[in-house]
Structure 1
Amino acid sequence: MKTLLEQKGEQPLAGRNPVKITLKPWDYETAKEYLKLGLEECGVAHSDKEIQEALSILGTLVGWLNFYGVNRCVKPHGDALKESLEEAISIALSELKKNLQIRSGK
């Protein structure tokens, strides 16, 4: 992201303003299919139970599913899920702190 925001004129994408894209949580079936296709694409054997557990814990937010999918391509299910949950919690807490600071005027 920093690369996109702090560009020099000769870099790729220079002069192009970043666009903010807001994605809402997906429905369960879309999220399930996203994970299945992604794991199949990276050649990882997985079970429906693993996908159900990931969705049960992480929900259907695209970003969290992406964390899990990337982690799962290189790690066992349990490790990928734990790391993804920790990352999701860290990001959510950071965003909450930022919003509270903005509201309190600090």
Structure 2
Amino acid sequence: MKIGCDIVAISRMEKIYQKHNVNFLNKFLNSKEQILIKNPATLAGFWAAKEAASKALGVGISKECGFFDLEISKDFKNAPYFNFSSKLLNSFKINSASLSISHDGGFAIAVVVMDLEA
């Protein structure tokens, strides 16, 4: 099992979005993910989630794991989960992953737990 965690100030993400608008979103979210963004807290949570997943893989956001290799979706109960690119699935042998996102006190935090083949 591998664990990744990331925390980000919601105000930081909001300022970047206000300055760059959709150009900022296009750098790390695909069109399906952008539809899920309802407010600055959600935006910050998605950023933290992708960072946390890349940390669980041990590489951070890099050539090995880009933002678009990690797609966030929601299930029927509105819980977030990842769809991984075939590149990640093959390179890291991801068996399963769990994602939790929370926001409070001006911060968004995400924790990712991954089961990787040995």
TM-score (norm 2): 0.28
Of Structure 1 and Structure 2, the greater strand share is in 2
Please tell me whether Structure 1 or Structure 2 has the larger radius of gyration of its CA atoms.
1
Of Structure 1 and Structure 2, the greater helix share is in 1
